[in-house]
Structure 1
């Protein structure tokens, strides 16, 4: 993947996270505060817990930090997959956001 391809894919992912947070806020009582600064998004939940998602440009990765740990994702041509084989980014984000918020939340590309 070229730097330009990575930048496009990473931007699509970050935009999708922001749009999902907005959609979830409109449809539920989750009250997710989505804060973006460049290539970094912080999702803050009503209980004060956070999930941080950021670009790692030199590595062509997306990193996610949640209560359950830190995760690294690379685009495999179809989806952002965990570099240690733990699954797809949006599935992991949904699981972590659900655990941290206490609600069933669904983030998707």
Structure 2
């Protein structure tokens, strides 16, 4: 995948994440703090950071539970170390960190 394709795919993914967070009804705030960083703030003040890593062509997630890297496998953003898709992982991560069930799927 070239840089232009990666950027378009990552941008669409960030829009998908923002829409899913909005629809989830979870008690959190979120905002794009730059063109490549989405910050999710939970009600307890903790944060989950989702960012685009251009050099690796990955989406990275940093949360209280750890750091995770997702690479496009041709059909989905796949965790580079585990068999977990990005939106499913974010649902789990946000749920763990907020203490409420949050589905972003």
TM-score using structure 2 length:
0.93
- Secondary structure at the residue paired with 1:47? coil
- How many residue pairs get aligned? The number is 104
Give the C-alpha shift of residue 106 in structure 1: 0.7
Greater strand share, 1 or 2?
2
How big is the alpha-carbon RMSD for the aligned residues of Structure 1 and Structure 2? Answer: 1.0
Aligned-residue offset at 1:105: 0.4
Q: Secondary structure of the residue that 2:39 maps to in structure 1?
A: strand
More helix per residue: 1
Displacement of 1:47 = 1.2
What SS does the corresponding residue of 1:63 show, helix, strand or coil? Answer: strand
Structure 1: where are the runs of 5+ without partners? none
TM-score by length of 1: 0.90
Which residue number corresponds to residue 29 of structure 2? 33
1:61 to 32, 55, 58: 58
In structure 2, stretches of 5+ residues that fail to align are none
Runs of 4+ with >2 A deviation: none
